Each structure stands twice: as C-alpha cells, then as structure tokens.
C-alpha cells in the first residue's frame, strides 16, 4: 500500500523528526499567539556578521533612513509570504498526517488479524496433536463378551464394548475360524459396530453353533481380544428341568465319591512318601482337586507334585522333612457339596551320621531382616537320644550356589541368635545342626531365601496410581536437604535382651541427608566413666546391632554416632542401663493329660494348654506298659490340645506323656497317663444293599437284602426298613423296633402301585448309614403255585400233556410245586 500524495506540491515527505517539530509548532501557534509573534520577530531579524580590520572603528555602522525604510518594507513582505507559506504547509501537513495515521492504524489491524489467525492455527494444531497423543492408544474392552446358554432354534446376541483411538479393525472368530457372513446362509450371522459397541447375532441356533466365539480388535497401537462360549441345548421334556440329572451334570459335573480311604503314613526324613485316593467318577476339572496340610492349601513345587490320572488323585513328595508332618486333607467338588478325606503323616528322624547324635532342628526362619543383619530362629528336635544338646551350628548359603559355610554357633539353651556381617543386596539361606556329646545331627531343612535390604525404605515411599495401572513413586529421600555432617541418632534402646547378646536399636538422624550413613557404637560400664568403642567386622549400615561381648552381672549404657562422607556426628544420648538376662527357663509340662480309645489302632489324647507367649507347641511320647524307653510320636510341634495317636497295636497297653516346646528347648515331661489297652473299637455299621422282592400279594410284599459290608466291630442287632410309594413324596417307616432277620413282610400296600425300599443296620454303637433306595417293585399278586407237597407223577409210555420232550419217564414237570420252590430259591428277586 502507498501513501496518498500531498496537496499543493508540498514536495517529498520530511523525516519523522521534522514532521513532529512542525506539528508541535503549528499547535503552539494556534494556542499561544505571543509565542508565534516572538517566533516571527526572531525570524525577521537578520543580522549580518561582518569582519573589520584593526584600523576600522569599532561598533555598528549607522544606517541611513533609506536603508531602514527598505529594510522595513522587505521585512513586511517576507513576513507576509512566510505566513502564507506556513499556513498552507501546516494544512497540507495535517492532512498528510491524518492519512498516515489512518494508514498506520489499518496496517496494525491487519497485522493483528494475521497474528491472531496464526496463533489460532497454532493452538488448533497443538490441540489436535495433543488429542491424537492422548487418544492414540491400543484397544481395550470396557465390557467383555459374556457366555450364553440358549435353546435350539433360538437367537443369541453377543455384545461387547471396546475403546480405541483410532477406531480399530474388528474380526470375529468361531473356534479360531474367521466368520465371513457371505460364506453362510443369508441372515445366519449379523455383525455390527456402532461407535465401539460390537455385536454378533446368531439366528436359529443349532447344536453345531455351540462353540467358543472370539472377537479381535487391532489398530496401530496394539490389539486385544475377548471370547465367550455359546452352549446350545436341545429340549428333552421334563428331563431338562433344573432338578434333572442332566442339568446337575452340566453345571456341577458328576457326583464324585471316594472309593478308597486315606490311611496314616509313617515317612522317614530325607525319603519320599505319597498319598493317593480313588474316585467313583472322572473329575472333569483336575485343578479343582485340592490338597491341604494343617489347613493350608498346597501347590506343586520342585519337590512336591500333585497329580490326577484315571480317577486317582495323588500327592507325592520326593524328599521329606519334618516340616512336612501334619494333617493332610484332600477335597473334591461335587453337586451336593465338597467331599473330603483326611489322614495324618508322621515323619521319623533320619538315621544319625554319628550314633547317639540328636535329631535335626526344624522350622528355621529369618526375622527382622535389615541391610546387614537378621535374627534366626528354629525349633528344637523332639529326640535328643539321651544326650542333651550343648550347641547349635548355623550354616549359610549365598544365593543358589549350593555351598554351605558355617557362620555362627549358638549355645544349646536357646533357639534364637543374631546373624551379622551380611552384604546388602545379596540373598541367603540358612540351616541348623544340633550338637551333643555324641556328635552333630543331620542338617535341618533350609530356610526360605531372603534378600538383604533396607526394608524401612518402603515406608518412606508413596505410590500414586494414575492412568489405568500406572503409578508414580515418590520417596521422602528426594526432599531431604543437603546435609554435610549428620545429626546424632536418637532413641537408643535395647529391642531384645537375651542370655548371650543384646540387640540395640535406634532412630536415624533427622534430617538424614541423601548421603549413605554408617554407624559406630560405644559402650560404658555403669560407674566407670569411660567409653569404649564396639568393634565390628564390617561397617554398620542398619539401625540395628547385636552386641555379643558383654559380661554377665554388669550394667551397660550405649551411645551411637552417625557417619557419612563428610564426617562424624556428635554422640547420641546414652541409653538406659542394660544388663544381660539369666538363662531362659523351659516351660512347665501340660496338666490333665488324658487318653481315650478312638479306634482299634489309635488313641485320642487331650490336655490343658500352657499359657505362655513363647510356646511353640507340644511333643507327645508313648511307651508300652512294662518298658522304660519313651518313643517320640510326633517330630513337629502340635499347636492344639488334642491329638489322635495312630499306628498302635490292638491288644497292647500304652502310656503317654506330653512336653511343652519353646525357644529355650523342650520342657519337662507331664505325668504319664493311665495305661490304656487298644481294643477293637465299635463303630456304626455301613449300609445294607442288594434289595430283592421275595414274594408279592395283592397288598403286601416280602423284601430281602444283604448284610452291610462293614459291621463296625460288633454284632448286627437288627434293621430298620423304610418304604416309599412312587406316587407320594415322603418316606414312611415300616417298623419301629429292629428286625433281627434280613427279611421283612410289608403290609397295607396298594395293588398296582410301585414301591421302593431302604434300610439301616444297628449295633451296640448305634444306627448305621442309610442305604441307597432299591429298585421299584410293583405290588401285583403272583399267580404261580406256592411251594407244597410233591404232586403225584403219572407214568405212561405215551408222551402226553405234562411230559417234557427229552425227559425221562417219571421226571416231574417244571411247573410242579417243588420245582418252583427250587427256582424261587435260586432267583429270589424276580418272577418266574
């Protein structure tokens, strides 16, 4: 754009500074008249400067009158012309200035519009990129597919909701075969995608449509899939109801029963053992069979296998330890509730490497794990073989190296000790040996693998979840100030006091800084007034430390210093006076130990509990009457106050005693129980079976059955029989008093009705199991002749009626009464 030309031939535009000067002069002339006259007067007075010689007279030359007049006239003319020019120039310049300002304003507006448009386009582009960045993600199912069970010739609709950006590509599969509606009859499949709502409609379903349907979605950022099963059923009339056997089997599987009994197992340490049981039906889902030990669910591992083949479930342990001892239970689901069986597994001590050496310890555990130290605990063995334990040898293995190195030795009166000098970040396992005068025991089972680290660091971290599974972790160490020399630790105290050591604990200095800290400890005997540094093989990195070299019957105070790369802090405040404890005492024996006969090979024991927080359990011992040596019953401490001792011999007398177990060792033995003889115990009998119809009249039946397979160790005193009319709902008792025989006559029946029967056997222990219902028997009078006397035989040489072809003369016919009697005895359950 060009500026408009000035009017009146003002000439080329002046520089901006001259324009500003003339504009100001024009405004001042309009506002102040005196200033303009002064400006004109100053402009009209022209003074010429002349140079004179030194000989000419000094001072102004006097002007003549003519010169003065001419000067005045010239000045007037000049003033008039100058005023006209100034006024014209001012008007032209004002118009030029106005045009310039308008043009300048128009250019600024256009520039602002272009700038706003450019910024708007940039914002729109940024928003678009941000939206693509935020919504550009792989597909995921907000609502997955759901399985359906439908009747034949009906329609099923599978739906799901998927979210993805950009919109994904959708593909449907039937049993891993892609569904293409063009390859099927028209209208069989209908696939829709309505803004992320995916649906597959299957019309007029048939048995062939029972399959697994999968939908797979995929875009540039990933893929996902969802599947559902469709079960198409055929209507079977009344057998297809919810109470039918078909429905129960399809929903819950077959009714599984145990066909074998779990028996107690006596295993040996370091040797394998197995448990197995048989089922009446195949278990559809083998993973539904569960094994438990002392109520804890067991899973397959490197040395433990859970198997199922050919209706047999088994649990196999390749290498047995004392920790494997306990009450085992197997559970299998069934339509009418889970079925369970249980038995006890007892683990005997392995053969000692040295004759007379004690049994191995058990339950080795790592507690209070820190960066460089931990506390190790275990349970003492139940059998010392007559030699008291003098010490425990502790071995450690770093990682999975398999190399065991002795690292510590603890006194025999305790089952707890600290382990120090470990490396942060390394993993360790530990095992323990018991030592007596006869030698060392076999090693215990190794502890679980532990990793040394700062476990308090987890409490200093805060996790904030966001965006579907992601999280932000913030540690308080990031907010620590820059600290050069740390402050002294605080709250120095004894967290554990034992006979041979004291475990000191303290709190880290606050603020602790970001530099790693180590600690140095000092001790002082009360009254000495001097402090002695406590030496350690490696720097102390954890706020825990076990002091071992203390003297008994002396009291100590302790203080701690913190140290980092910048220097050593001041000592902390001294702790309270601390002294070693005396040797720990074993727990008292349980009271009121009683024995009861349970079965023909087991005895039940009960006793009063020992109330002590350090109690680990109980050991049980038994011996035959007339012998002095006690035998260990269990090698793993029992937690309850009741136990059934299996594996006893029928006809023998036994005595029992119980001991308490703690970290101090095995306590004193309780008083021996009264001698108890193991006899064949009575139990209720099993159910009768094999029901048969022996005779039938118009309104009565004669029913027979077979005796129970298990009589419960006693004589069967009688049977109780129940009847059920197929047209009624309830069962009715036939007799109120037990029937001594296995035949019963049932009266007051309705002719033409069908009846079923069931029975229970009774002995001195009580009424046994209820049998399964018999088959349906029709109440209809038999028309065959009753057994009676032998009829006369007609002898003739001519074959006539009543003579069986091929039979000798004098042979009675099959329809004779005595022959029917023989047949009825041979086939008691049917009709001739």
**Ordered structural domains, the chain, with CATH:** 138-233 (2.60.40.10), 249-348 (2.60.40.10), 362-456 (2.60.40.10), 490-579 (2.60.40.10), 591-678 (2.60.40.10), 689-779 (2.60.40.10)
Helix/strand number for the chain, H first, E second? 5, 51
- Give the orientation angle of helix 16-31 with respect to helix 33-44, to 10 degrees: 120
The mean pLDDT of 419-432, rounded to a whole number, is 92
User: Highest mean pLDDT: which of 450-459, 598-607, 692-701?
Assistant: 692-701
Q: Which of 133, 214, 217, 225 is nearest to 167 (CA)?
A: 217
> Residues with Cβ < 8 Å from 494, sequence gap 6 or more?
502, 503, 504, 505, 575, 576, 578
Burial class (CB in 10 A: 0-12, 13-18, 19+), 307: middle
- Give the orientation angle of helix 65-135 with respect to helix 33-44, to 10 degrees: 120
Residue written as token pair 């009464």: 817
SS3 353: coil
Residue written as token pair 């030496």: 535
* pLDDT score, position 685: 87
> Residues with Cβ < 8 Å from 564, sequence gap 6 or more?
483, 485, 486, 513, 515, 516, 517, 518
Return the bridge partners of 306, or none.
315
DSSP 634: -
The token pair at 19 is 């324009």
Residue written as token pair 């306990």: 326
Between 176 and 133, whose confidence is greater?
A: 176
* pLDDT score, position 325: 94
648: pLDDT strictly greater than 90: no
Q: Which of 442, 531, 435, 514 is nearest to 480 (CA)?
A: 514
Q: What span, in angstroms and rounded, lies between the C-alpha atoms of 572 and 563? A: 12
Between 824 and 747, whose confidence is greater?
A: 747
* pLDDT score, position 485: 82
E strands in 650-793: 653-662, 665-669, 676-677, 689-696, 701-706, 718-725, 732-733, 743-746, 754-763, 766-767, 777-778
* pLDDT score, position 87: 66
DSSP 739: B
Between 119 and 602, whose confidence is greater?
A: 119
pLDDT above 70 covers what percent of the chain?
A: 80
Q: What span, in angstroms and rounded, lies between the C-alpha atoms of 653 and 37? A: 150
Q: How do residues 331-370 score in pLDDT, each as one tens digit?
A: 998 877 788 999 999 999 988 888 889 999 999 999 989 8
Q: Are 547 and 607 in contact (CB under 8 A)?
A: no
Between 246 and 809, whose confidence is greater?
A: 246
818: pLDDT strictly greater than 70: no
59: pLDDT strictly greater than 80: no
> Residues with Cβ < 8 Å from 168, sequence gap 6 or more?
139, 162, 217, 218, 219, 223
Q: What span, in angstroms and rounded, lies between the C-alpha atoms of 112 and 500? A: 87
The mean pLDDT of 494-514, rounded to a whole number, is 87
Q: What span, in angstroms and rounded, lies between the C-alpha atoms of 545 and 504? A: 5
> Is the entire prediction scored with pTM above 0.75?
no
178: pLDDT strictly greater than 50: yes
Burial class (CB in 10 A: 0-12, 13-18, 19+), 10: middle
Polymer length in residues for the chain: 832
Residue 4 pLDDT class (50, 70, 90 cuts): very low
Between 216 and 598, whose confidence is greater?
A: 216
Between 170 and 461, whose confidence is greater?
A: 170
pLDDT above 90 covers what percent of the chain?
A: 41
64: pLDDT strictly greater than 80: no
812: pLDDT strictly greater than 50: no
Q: Are 415 and 444 in contact (CB under 8 A)?
A: no
SS3 781: coil
Relative to beta strand 544-547, strand 594-599 is unpaired
* pLDDT score, position 480: 65
* pLDDT score, position 793: 47
The token pair at 649 is 């011999």
SS3 711: coil
Q: How do residues 539-595 score in pLDDT, each as one tens digit?
A: 898 898 999 888 888 999 999 999 988 888 999 999 999 999 888 888 888 998 888
Residue 806 pLDDT class (50, 70, 90 cuts): very low
813: pLDDT strictly greater than 50: no
246: pLDDT strictly greater than 60: no
- Least confident range from 455-464, 617-626, 673-682: namely 455-464
> How high does pLDDT run on average in the chain?
82
Residue 798 pLDDT class (50, 70, 90 cuts): very low
712: pLDDT strictly greater than 80: no
* pLDDT score, position 521: 93
Q: What span, in angstroms and rounded, lies between the C-alpha atoms of 442 and 830? A: 69
Burial class (CB in 10 A: 0-12, 13-18, 19+), 447: buried
Q: Are 172 and 213 in contact (CB under 8 A)?
A: yes
SS3 503: strand
* pLDDT score, position 5: 40
Relative to beta strand 222-233, strand 148-151 is parallel
> Residues with Cβ < 8 Å from 259, sequence gap 6 or more?
278, 279, 280
Q: Which of 432, 454, 457 is nearest to 544 (CA)?
A: 454
Residue written as token pair 């003579």: 803
Q: How do residues 268-319 score in pLDDT, each as one tens digit?
A: 999 999 999 999 888 878 888 999 999 899 999 999 999 999 889 999 999 9
* pLDDT score, position 236: 60
Q: Which of 751, 748, 711, 752 is nearest to 733 (CA)?
A: 748
* pLDDT score, position 47: 43
* pLDDT score, position 728: 87
The token pair at 794 is 């007609």
Q: What span, in angstroms and rounded, lies between the C-alpha atoms of 510 and 512? A: 5
């Amino acid at each position: 754009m060009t500026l408009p030309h000035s009017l009146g031939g003002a000439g080329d535009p002046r520089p901006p500074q001259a324009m500003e000067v003339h504009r100001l002069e024009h405004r001042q002339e309009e506002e102040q008249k005196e200033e303009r006259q002064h400006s004109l007067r100053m402009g009209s007075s022209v003074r010429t400067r002349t140079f004179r010689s030194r000989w000419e007279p000094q001072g102004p030359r006097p002007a003549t009158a003519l010169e003065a007049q001419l000067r005045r006239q010239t000045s007037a003319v000049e003033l008039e012309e100058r005023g006209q020019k100034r006024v014209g120039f001012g008007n032209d310049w004002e118009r030029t200035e106005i045009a310039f300002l308008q043009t300048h304003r128009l250019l600024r507006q256009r520039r602002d519009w272009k700038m706003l448009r450019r910024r708007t386009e940039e914002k729109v582009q940024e928003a678009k990129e941000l939206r693509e960045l935020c919504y550009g993600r792989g597909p995921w199912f907000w609502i997955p597919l759901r399985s359906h069970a439908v009747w034949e010739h009906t329609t099923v609709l599978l739906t799901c909701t998927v979210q993805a950006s950009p919109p994904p590509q959708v593909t449907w599969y039937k049993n891993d075969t892609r569904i293409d509606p063009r390859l099927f009859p028209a209208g069989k499949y209908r696939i829709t995608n309505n803004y992320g709502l995916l649906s597959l409609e299957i019309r007029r379903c048939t048995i062939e449509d029972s399959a697994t349907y999968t939908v797979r979605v995929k875009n540039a950022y990933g893929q996902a899939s969802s599947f559902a099963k469709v079960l198409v059923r055929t209507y079977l009339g009344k057998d297809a109801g919810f109470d039918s056997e078909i429905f129960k089997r399809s929903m819950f599987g077959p009714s599984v029963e145990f066909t074998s009994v779990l028996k107690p197992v006596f295993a040996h340490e370091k040797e394998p053992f197995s448990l197995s049981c048989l089922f009446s039906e195949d278990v559809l889902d083998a993973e539904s069979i569960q094994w438990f030990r002392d109520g804890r669910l067991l899973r397959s591992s490197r040395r433990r296998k859970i198997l199922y083949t050919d209706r047999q479930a088994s649990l196999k342990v390749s290498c047995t330890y004392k920790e494997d001892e306990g009450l085992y239970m197997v559970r299998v689901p069934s339509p009418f509730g889970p079925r369970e069986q249980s038995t006890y597994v007892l683990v005997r001590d392995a053969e000692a490497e040295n004759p007379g050496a004690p049994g191995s310890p058990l339950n080795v555990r790592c507690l209070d794990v820190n960066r460089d130290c931990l506390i190790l605990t275990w349970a003492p063995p139940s059998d010392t073989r007559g030699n008291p334990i003098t010490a425990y040898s502790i071995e450690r293995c770093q990682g999975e190296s398999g190399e065991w190195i002795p690292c510590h030795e603890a006194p025999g009166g305790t089952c707890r000790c600290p382990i120090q000098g470990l490396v942060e970040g390394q993993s360790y396992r530990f095992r323990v040996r018991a030592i007596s005068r006869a030698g060392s025991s076999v090693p215990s089972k190794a502890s679980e693998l532990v990793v040394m680290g700062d476990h308090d660091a987890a409490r200093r971290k805060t996790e904030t979840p966001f965006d579907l599974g992601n999280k932000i972790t913030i540690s308080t160490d990031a907010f620590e100030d820059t600290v050069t020399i740390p402050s002294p630790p605080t709250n120095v105290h004894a967290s554990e006091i034992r006979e041979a050591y004291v475990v000191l604990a303290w709190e880290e200095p606050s603020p602790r800084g970001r530099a790693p800290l180590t600690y140095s400890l000092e001790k002082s005997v009360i009254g000495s007034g001097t402090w002695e540094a406590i030496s350690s093989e490696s720097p102390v990195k954890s706020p825990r430390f076990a002091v071992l070299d203390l003297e008994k019957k002396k009291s100590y105070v302790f203080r701690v210093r913190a140290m980092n790369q910048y220097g050593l802090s001041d000592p902390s405040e001294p702790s309270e006076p601390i002294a070693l404890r005396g040797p720990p005492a074993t727990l008292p024996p349980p009271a009121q130990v009683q024995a009861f006969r349970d079965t023909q090979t087991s005895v039940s024991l009960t006793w009063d509990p020992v109330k002590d927080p350090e109690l680990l359990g109980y050991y049980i011992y038994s011996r035959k009457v007339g012998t002095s040596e006690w035998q260990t019953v269990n090698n793993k401490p029992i937690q309850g106050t009741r136990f059934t001792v299996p594996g006893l011999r029928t006809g023998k007398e036994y005595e029992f005693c119980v001991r308490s177990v703690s970290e101090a060792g095995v306590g004193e033995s309780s008083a021996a129980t009264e001698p108890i003889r193991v006899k064949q115990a009575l139990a209720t009998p099993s159910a009768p079976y094999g029901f048969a119809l022996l005779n039938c009249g118009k309104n009565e039946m004669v029913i027979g059955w077979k005796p129970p397979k298990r009589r419960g160790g006693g004589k069967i005193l009688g049977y109780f029989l129940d009847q059920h009319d197929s047209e009624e709902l309830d069962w009715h008792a036939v007799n109120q008093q037990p029937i001594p025989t296995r035949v019963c006559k049932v009266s007051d029946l309705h002719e033409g009705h069908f009846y079923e029967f069931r029975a229970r056997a009774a002995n001195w222990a009580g009424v046994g199991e209820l049998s399964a219902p018999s088959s349906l028997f029709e109440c209809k009078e038999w028309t065959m002749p009753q057994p009676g006397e032998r009829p006369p035989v007609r002898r003739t040489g001519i074959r006539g009626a009543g003579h069986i072809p091929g039979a000798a003369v004098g042979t009675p016919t099959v329809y004779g009464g005595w022959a029917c009697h023989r047949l009825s005895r041979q086939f008691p359950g049917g009709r001739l």
